[in-house]
Amino acid sequence: MDKIAFKFPKSLKSTLFHYCPGCHHSIVHRLLCEVIDELEIQEKSVGIASIGCACFLYFYIDVDILEAPHGRACAAATGIKRAKPELIVFTYQGDGDFAAIGFNESFHSALRGEKITAIMINNTLYGMTGGQVSPTTVPYQKTTTTPEGKNPAYYGYPPKIAEIFSNLEGVAFSGRFAVNTPKRVLETKRALKKAFLAQIYNLGFGYIEILSSCPVNWKLDPIKANKKIDELINFYTLGVFKDKVENFLKKEKN
Amino acid sequence: MRIELIISGFGGQGILFAGNLIALSAMKEGHQVTYLPVYGPEMRGGTCNCTIIISQNEIASPLVYHPSFLIIMNYPSFLKFMPNLKKGGSSIINSDLVKPEEIKNLQILQKKYKLYFVPVNSLAETINAPMLANLCALGAFYQITKIFNLKNFKEALKETLGSERSHLFEPNLKAFNLGAKYINQNFK
Amino acid sequence: MKAKKILVKGVEAIALGALEANCKCYFGYPITPQNEIPEMMARELPKRGGVFLQAESELSAINMVLGACAVGVRAMTSSSSPGISLMCESFSYIAALELPAVVVNVMRGGPGLGGIEASQGDYFQAVKSPGHGDFHFMVLAPYNAQEAYELTAKAFELAEKYRNPVMILSDAILGQMKEPIILKNLKIKEYPKNDWALTGAKNRPSRIIRSLFLDSQELKKRNLKLKNKYKKMEKEILFEVSVENNEKAILVAFGSMARIVKEVYFILKNKGYPVGFFRPITLFPFPVKPIQKILHNAKNPLKFLVIELNCGQMVEDVKLAVNGKAEVISLFYPPSVIPFPEELERKIKKWIK
C-alpha cells in the first residue's frame, strides 16, 4: 500500500477559512493542527483565541476554545493551567494583542514560567482594524496611522520579543519563524512542536513568533507580500533563541 | 448591659492589641461585640484609637460619638476624647502622661465622670516591661467593669499571642494583674 | 460538630466564606483595605489543594479568574475601588461568557485614588453596569461579618446556578472592623459544569466559550438570554425590613451605612417616632416588590429617607421602586467619613418632624 504523505489534520475543522488571500494565518492553523494531532493532545487541549483576525480560531481548530479579552490571553491561559494543570493550554495572538495591549500579561506569564504555549503572529500591524501601526511595525514602514512612515525618533523601535524572552529564566523555548517558503514551513512546524513539548514536559513557557504576511494592509498582492517576508527577516532574525526542550530530550535518551 | 469603649493613644502603645483583646474576652464571655480600629497609613508613632462596643443586645452601629468608657493613654487623646465622654461615664487615664495636677478643670470633670488615674507606664516599668503599659490599663479596665472573667481573658490572651509569641503570655498576665491590683488598692 | 465562634475582621469573614464554599482558586493584586483576603487565601488555599497566585495587575488577576472559571473551577478575586475599575473591562467579558466568577469589592473613597476610608461610591458601578455593554452582576451587600461570611459562600452557589458573576459589595468599615462569626456548614450547593466547561474535547464535540457575535440576530438572541436570566434572578432578592405599617418615614440604607441607620432607627423608635427601617441585601436584583408592599400596606403617607455614603446613588433605585407614590429623599454623605449615629439622628429628625 502507498504511504500517505499528506492528509487533512484530524483537529482541523472542514470550515472554509475566512482569511484574505495570501494571509499566513491559514498555514499556521494547519501546522498547529498537525502538531496537535502528532502529539495526540486534541482531547486535552484548550486554546485561547484573542482579538484580531484570528479571533475566529474556534471555527477552524477542533479543540475547546476560550475567547479572551484583547491582550489578556496569557493571563486567561495562566488561570486555566493553574486551575487544571492536566490540560494543554495555548494562546494564539497577533502582535498587537501580544506585544502592545497585552505585553504586561505576556511578559509576566513568561517571567513566571507558566507552562503554556504562546503563539504570536507578527504581521507588523493591526490587520483586523485596517492596518494601523503596531509596536512591531518596522522603522519607516507606512501604516494608516503612520502615513509618512513609522519614524523611530517619534515611535521608537520594535521589540524583538523572541530574543527578549530567551533571556527569561521561565522561558523554555523561544524562537522566530516564517512560513513563506516550504522549508520555513517545516522549520516552523518543528518549532511549534517544541513550544508544546516545553509545556508537556513541564519545562516552562513556550514561545513561538511567526512572521506573517498581510497583503491587504501591506497593499501588495499575495505573491509580493510573501516575498516581503524576506525583507522583514533582515530586521526580525529567524531562528531558535532558546531551547531547553532539545537538552531535555537528549537527557531523556541517555 | 452595654459598654461603649474607646481606647486611644500613640501608635506603638499597643492600643489595637488591647482593644482586640478586650473584644475577644467579652465575646468569650458570651456578649455581642464589635471592634473598630481607626487605621491609617502610619504603623508607628501616629495617633491611634479603636472603638469596642460590648452589649447583650444586637449592636447596630460600631461607631459611637459619646462613649461610656475611655482608656486614655496620652495627652492628645485626653484632649480629643474627654469632651465626648457620656455623662456619668468612666475613664482610665494614664497618669504618667496626663498628670491630674495639670488638668485645669479637674474638679468639674470629677463631678461629671468617674476618673481612674493609673500610672500604667510606671507600673509596667516595675516589671521591666515598658511595652506592656497597655496590659496594665486593660487590667484596670477588667477590675472596674468585670465585663468578662479571668478565665476568658486568659484564653483570649493565649489565642491572641498564638504559638509564636506564647512566651509573652506570663509577662502580659503580670502587667494585667498589676493594673487590676492598682485599682483594687486605690479605688473603691 | 459544634459551631465555632471566632472574632474576625469583615474581610477575613469574606475569605472564610470563600473557603467554606470550597473556592479553589484565588487571583488578586494588593490594595488597601482588603489585603487580609489574599493573605488568608495565600495561607489556606495551598493546604486545601487550591491555587493562590498574586498577579501583576488587577487586569491580569481577573483574567486568570476568567480562565479558571472557563474550565469549571471555582475561582474568585477581591480588590478595592480603583482596582475594581481596572477589572471592569473583563467583568463585561465574564458576564458575556456567562462564567460563575465571584468578585469582592471592599469599597474605599473615590473618585480617583480617593482615600482608604469607607465609601459606598461604587454603587452605580456595581449595580448598573461594571463595564461596557448591557449586563449585570448579581450584587450582594453584607452589613456585618456573619453576613459577609455567609453571603460570600452563597455567592459561589448563585454564580453557578445562574452562570453569572456575583459581586460582594463591602467597604472599608465593614472590612476592617472585627465581629464574632459562627463558622458552620453552610451546605453550599455545587452545580454541574460538565455541560459547558472547557475540560478538553474528550468523547464529546469541542466547545467554544466566546462573546463575539458579528451576526446581529445572534447577538440579539444572546442579549435577550441574559435579560431573561436577570429576570429569573429576581427570586433571589434578600432584604431586611422592620415596618409596622403605621410609620410616616422609612429609613433605607445598605452595607455599613445600614449599621448606623439601624442604630438611629432603634433610638428614634424608642423615643416614639413613627419610623421604619428597610435594608436591601441584594442590590441587584433590587428588592422592588418589598418596597411596593410597604407602600401598599402603609396607613399614612410615607417618606423614604435614603441614607448613603455617596452623593446619592441607591436613592435612584428607591425612586424607581416607589414610582412616584411617595416622597423619596436622599440624605447623602460624600465618601469620606461615615457619620456618627448622633449626627445622623439630628439630620433625620429634621425630616420627620
Which position has the higher pLDDT, C1 or C117? C117
Q: How many CA atoms lie within 13 A of A213 on its CB side?
A: 25
Domain total of chain B: 1
C240 at A interface, C-beta within 8 A: no
Q: Do C342 and B36 touch (CB under 8 A)?
A: no
Band (pLDDT 50/70/90 cuts) for residue B47 is confident
Helices B169-186, B133-145: axis angle to 10 degrees equals 50
Identify the helix (H) or strand (E) that includes residue B76.
helix B75-81
pLDDT higher than threshold 90 for residue B96: yes
pLDDT higher than threshold 50 for residue B43: no
Cα–Cα distance for residue pair B133/B13, rounded to 1 Å: 7
**Nearest CA among C249, C247, C351 for reference residue C299:** C247
**Nearest CA among C94, C70, C98 for reference residue C226:** C98
Q: Do C71 and A76 touch (CB under 8 A)?
A: no
pLDDT higher than threshold 90 for residue C287: yes
pLDDT higher than threshold 60 for residue B40: no
C212 at A interface, C-beta within 8 A: yes
**Nearest CA among A147, A120, A121, A122 for reference residue A132:** A147
Lowest mean pLDDT of A153-167, C22-36, C111-125, C164-178, name the range: C111-125
* Cell numbers given for C6: 471566632
* Closest chain C residue to the Cα of A78, Cα to Cα: C64
Q: Do C266 and B60 touch (CB under 8 A)?
A: yes
Helices A73-83, A103-111: axis angle to 10 degrees equals 40
Q: Which chains touch B (3 or more CB pairs under 8 A)?
A: C
pLDDT higher than threshold 50 for residue C182: yes
* Closest chain C residue to the Cα of A56, Cα to Cα: C212
Mean pLDDT of chain C: 96
| DSSP bridge partners of B53 | B4, B34
Calculate mean pLDDT across residues B82-108: 96
Question: Residue A23, Cα to own-chain centre: how many angstroms?
Answer: 14
Q: Is the peptide bond before B100 cis (omega within 30 degrees of 0)?
A: no
**Alpha-helix residue ranges (DSSP H) falling in chain C:** 10-20, 36-44, 58-70, 81-96, 123-127, 145-162, 172-176, 216-232, 255-270, 288-297, 314-322, 341-352
Cα–Cα distance for residue pair C251/A100, rounded to 1 Å: 50
Q: Do C55 and A43 touch (CB under 8 A)?
A: no
- Which CATH number belongs to the domain containing residue B40 in this structure? 3.40.920.10
Structural domain that includes position B149: 2-186
Partner-chain residue, chosen from C25, C63, C201, that has the shortest CB–CB distance to A82: C25
pLDDT higher than threshold 80 for residue C9: yes
Partner-chain residue, chosen from C27, C201, C203, that has the shortest CB–CB distance to A79: C27
* Cell numbers given for C135: 449586563
pLDDT value at residue B42: 44
> B85 to chain C: which residues are within 8 Å by CB?
none
Q: To which residue does cell 478565665 refer?
A: B151
Q: Cα dihedral sign for B73, B78, B81, B85?
A: positive
Q: Do A83 and C65 touch (CB under 8 A)?
A: no
Do C and A make contact via 3 or more CB pairs under 8 A? The reply is yes
Calculate mean pLDDT across residues C328-338: 92
| CA-to-CA dists, residue A211 to A56, A95, A178, A227, C79, angstroms | 19, 10, 5, 12, 39
> Nearest CA of chain C to the CA of A228: how many Å?
32
C27 at A interface, C-beta within 8 A: yes
B60 at C interface, C-beta within 8 A: yes
Q: Do C63 and A67 touch (CB under 8 A)?
A: no
> Nearest CA of chain B to the CA of C37: how many Å?
17
B23 at C interface, C-beta within 8 A: yes
> Nearest CA of chain A to the CA of C56: how many Å?
7
C97 at A interface, C-beta within 8 A: yes
pLDDT value at residue A254: 83
**Domain A25-253 of CATH type 3.30.420.40:** no
Instruction: Enter the ipTM.
Output: 0.96
3-state secondary structure of A73: helix
pLDDT digits (tens, 9 = 90+) for B136-158: 999 999 999 999 999 999 999 99
Mutation pick from C51, C57, C64, C209 vs chain A, by most beta carbons of A within 10 Å, is: C64
Mutation pick from A55, A64, A116 vs chain C, by most beta carbons of C within 10 Å, is: A64
Task: Output the CA torsion B111→B116→B121→B122 (10° steps).
Answer: 100
pLDDT digits (tens, 9 = 90+) for C185-211: 999 999 999 999 999 999 999 999 999
> Nearest CA of chain C to the CA of B107: how many Å?
27
> Nearest CA of chain A to the CA of C59: how many Å?
8
Q: Do C201 and A67 touch (CB under 8 A)?
A: no
pLDDT value at residue C129: 87
| DSSP bridge partners of A207 | A118, A174
B162 at C interface, C-beta within 8 A: no
Question: Could you tell me the residue ranges of all domains in chain A?
Answer: 25-253
Cα–Cα distance for residue pair C172/B143, rounded to 1 Å: 34
Mutation pick from C22, C25, C195, C198 vs chain A, by most beta carbons of A within 10 Å, is: C198
**Nearest CA among C66, C58, C49 for reference residue C28:** C58
The percent of residues in chain C predicted with pLDDT above 90, rounded, is 95
Cα–Cα distance for residue pair C243/C232, rounded to 1 Å: 27
Q: Cα dihedral sign for C205, C206, C208, C213?
A: negative
What is the DSSP secondary-structure string of A98-147?
IIIITHHHHHHHHHTT-S-EEEEEE-SEETTTTSEE-TTPPTT--BTTBT
pLDDT value at residue C335: 87
| CA-to-CA dists, residue C314 to A124, B133, C134, C309, angstroms | 48, 46, 19, 10
pLDDT value at residue B45: 55
Per-residue pLDDT of chain A (254 residues; tens, 9 = 90+): 678 878 899 999 999 999 999 999 999 999 999 999 999 999 999 999 988 898 899 999 999 999 999 999 999 999 999 999 999 999 999 999 999 999 999 999 999 999 999 999 999 999 999 999 999 999 999 999 999 999 999 999 999 999 999 999 999 999 999 999 999 999 999 999 999 999 999 999 999 999 999 999 999 999 999 999 999 999 999 999 999 999 999 999 88
Partner-chain residue, chosen from A75, A83, A104, that has the shortest CB–CB distance to C75: A83
Confirm if C173 and C209 have CB atoms less than 8 A apart.
Answer: no
Per this entry, what is the length of chain C? 353
Mean pLDDT of chain B: 94
pLDDT value at residue A3: 82
> B41 to chain C: which residues are within 8 Å by CB?
116
Cα–Cα distance for residue pair C265/C269, rounded to 1 Å: 6
Q: Do A83 and C211 touch (CB under 8 A)?
A: no
Q: Do B33 and C180 touch (CB under 8 A)?
A: yes
Inter-chain Cβ pairs, chain B and chain C, closer than 8 A: 61
pLDDT value at residue C353: 76
**Domains (ranges, CATH) in chain C?**
4-235 (3.40.50.970), 237-352 (3.40.50.920)
pLDDT value at residue C72: 98
